[in-house]
Amino acid sequence: WRACFLTVPGFHCRQDPYSAGWFGATQALETIGLVAGFIGLILIVLYIFINKLAGNRTLFITSLVAVGIAAGSTLLGVVIYGVHGSALSWSFALAVIGGLLYLVTMALMLVHVSKPNAI
Protein backbone atom coordinates (compact mmCIF):
# COMPACT_ATOMS: atom_id res chain seq x y z
CA TRP A 1 0.00 0.00 0.00
CA ARG A 2 1.04 3.55 -0.68
CA ALA A 3 -0.44 6.79 0.62
CA CYS A 4 -0.54 9.60 -1.96
CA PHE A 5 -1.06 13.28 -1.29
CA LEU A 6 -1.67 16.20 -3.61
CA THR A 7 1.14 18.73 -3.17
CA VAL A 8 2.09 21.90 -5.02
CA PRO A 9 4.38 20.28 -7.61
CA GLY A 10 2.04 17.27 -8.03
CA PHE A 11 1.31 14.04 -6.24
CA HIS A 12 3.64 12.80 -3.54
CA CYS A 13 3.44 9.11 -2.64
CA ARG A 14 5.01 7.23 0.23
CA GLN A 15 4.61 3.82 1.74
CA ASP A 16 1.72 3.54 4.19
CA PRO A 17 3.23 2.92 7.66
CA TYR A 18 0.20 0.83 8.69
CA SER A 19 0.77 -1.76 5.98
CA ALA A 20 4.03 -3.04 7.48
CA GLY A 21 4.22 -6.68 8.47
CA TRP A 22 4.85 -5.94 12.14
CA PHE A 23 1.68 -3.85 12.32
CA GLY A 24 -0.40 -6.66 10.86
CA ALA A 25 1.19 -9.11 13.29
CA THR A 26 0.34 -6.81 16.19
CA GLN A 27 -3.27 -6.54 15.05
CA ALA A 28 -3.56 -10.30 14.64
CA LEU A 29 -2.03 -11.09 18.03
CA GLU A 30 -4.17 -8.56 19.87
CA THR A 31 -7.30 -9.88 18.13
CA ILE A 32 -6.40 -13.47 19.04
CA GLY A 33 -5.86 -12.34 22.62
CA LEU A 34 -9.23 -10.61 22.76
CA VAL A 35 -11.11 -13.59 21.30
CA ALA A 36 -9.29 -16.07 23.57
CA GLY A 37 -10.05 -13.85 26.57
CA PHE A 38 -13.76 -13.85 25.69
CA ILE A 39 -13.72 -17.63 25.31
CA GLY A 40 -11.99 -18.02 28.68
CA LEU A 41 -14.54 -15.70 30.28
CA ILE A 42 -17.49 -17.60 28.84
CA LEU A 43 -16.05 -20.94 29.96
CA ILE A 44 -15.33 -19.78 33.50
CA VAL A 45 -18.84 -18.29 33.78
CA LEU A 46 -20.26 -21.65 32.68
CA TYR A 47 -18.02 -23.39 35.23
CA ILE A 48 -19.19 -21.16 38.08
CA PHE A 49 -22.90 -20.63 37.38
CA ILE A 50 -24.22 -23.71 35.55
CA ASN A 51 -24.99 -26.52 38.00
CA LYS A 52 -24.38 -29.33 35.48
CA LEU A 53 -20.91 -27.97 34.70
CA ALA A 54 -19.88 -26.90 38.22
CA GLY A 55 -16.71 -28.72 39.21
CA ASN A 56 -15.96 -29.92 35.68
CA ARG A 57 -12.16 -30.10 35.65
CA THR A 58 -11.90 -30.28 31.86
CA LEU A 59 -13.93 -27.10 31.47
CA PHE A 60 -11.77 -25.28 34.01
CA ILE A 61 -8.53 -26.39 32.36
CA THR A 62 -9.88 -25.39 28.93
CA SER A 63 -10.66 -21.95 30.35
CA LEU A 64 -7.15 -21.82 31.81
CA VAL A 65 -5.63 -22.61 28.41
CA ALA A 66 -7.77 -19.92 26.74
CA VAL A 67 -6.66 -17.33 29.29
CA GLY A 68 -3.03 -18.43 28.82
CA ILE A 69 -3.34 -17.97 25.05
CA ALA A 70 -4.91 -14.55 25.65
CA ALA A 71 -2.06 -13.52 27.96
CA GLY A 72 0.67 -14.76 25.65
CA SER A 73 -0.68 -13.29 22.43
CA THR A 74 -1.63 -9.96 24.01
CA LEU A 75 1.78 -9.47 25.61
CA LEU A 76 3.57 -10.60 22.44
CA GLY A 77 1.57 -8.06 20.43
CA VAL A 78 2.48 -5.38 22.97
CA VAL A 79 6.17 -6.25 22.66
CA ILE A 80 6.10 -6.17 18.85
CA TYR A 81 4.32 -2.82 18.77
CA GLY A 82 6.52 -1.39 21.53
CA VAL A 83 9.68 -2.23 19.60
CA HIS A 84 8.47 -0.68 16.33
CA GLY A 85 6.01 1.99 17.41
CA SER A 86 7.24 5.40 18.42
CA ALA A 87 4.03 7.14 19.47
CA LEU A 88 2.77 5.05 22.38
CA SER A 89 -0.47 6.38 23.83
CA TRP A 90 -3.24 5.43 26.24
CA SER A 91 -4.42 2.49 24.12
CA PHE A 92 -0.96 0.93 24.34
CA ALA A 93 -1.10 1.31 28.12
CA LEU A 94 -4.52 -0.38 28.19
CA ALA A 95 -3.17 -3.28 26.12
CA VAL A 96 -0.25 -3.69 28.55
CA ILE A 97 -2.61 -3.61 31.55
CA GLY A 98 -4.95 -6.11 29.87
CA GLY A 99 -2.10 -8.51 29.10
CA LEU A 100 -0.83 -8.30 32.67
CA LEU A 101 -4.33 -8.92 34.04
CA TYR A 102 -4.63 -12.00 31.81
CA LEU A 103 -1.30 -13.17 33.25
CA VAL A 104 -2.47 -12.64 36.85
CA THR A 105 -5.72 -14.47 36.06
CA MET A 106 -3.79 -17.38 34.60
CA ALA A 107 -1.56 -17.57 37.69
CA LEU A 108 -4.56 -17.58 40.02
CA MET A 109 -6.24 -20.28 37.96
CA LEU A 110 -3.03 -22.35 38.07
CA VAL A 111 -2.98 -22.04 41.86
CA HIS A 112 -6.60 -23.15 41.99
CA VAL A 113 -6.09 -26.14 39.69
CA SER A 114 -2.98 -27.29 41.58
CA LYS A 115 -4.90 -27.73 44.85
CA PRO A 116 -5.74 -31.43 45.29
CA ASN A 117 -9.47 -31.14 46.08
CA ALA A 118 -10.21 -27.76 44.54
CA ILE A 119 -11.94 -29.05 41.42
DSSP code string of 73-88: HHHHHHHHHHHH-S--
Query: 32 Cβ partners below 8 Å, 6+ apart?
Result: 69, 70, 73
Q: Quick check: 99 pLDDT over 80?
A: yes
Distance, in Å, from the CA atom of 92 to the CA atom of 72, rounded to the nearest integer, reads 16
For residues 97-110, give the mean pLDDT.
96
Phi, psi (deg, nearest 5) at residue 11: -85, 140
Phi, psi (deg, nearest 5) at residue 4: -115, 140
Q: Which one-letter amino acid corresponds to residue 67?
A: V
For residues 14-27, give the mean pLDDT.
78
Q: What is the pLDDT of residue 12?
A: 79
Residue 79 Cα to chain centre, angstroms: 12
Confidence of residue 89 (pLDDT cuts 50, 70, 90): confident
pTM higher than the cut 0.85: no
Q: What is the pLDDT of residue 1?
A: 61
Distance, in Å, from the CA atom of 66 to the CA atom of 60, rounded to the nearest integer, reads 10
| Residue range 33-84, pLDDT digits in tens | 999 999 999 999 999 998 888 888 899 999 999 999 999 999 999 999 999 8
In 11-95, the DSSP E strands lie at: 11-15
Q: Which of 107, 36, 24, 83 is nearest to 92 (CA)?
A: 83
Q: Quick check: 17 pLDDT over 70?
A: no
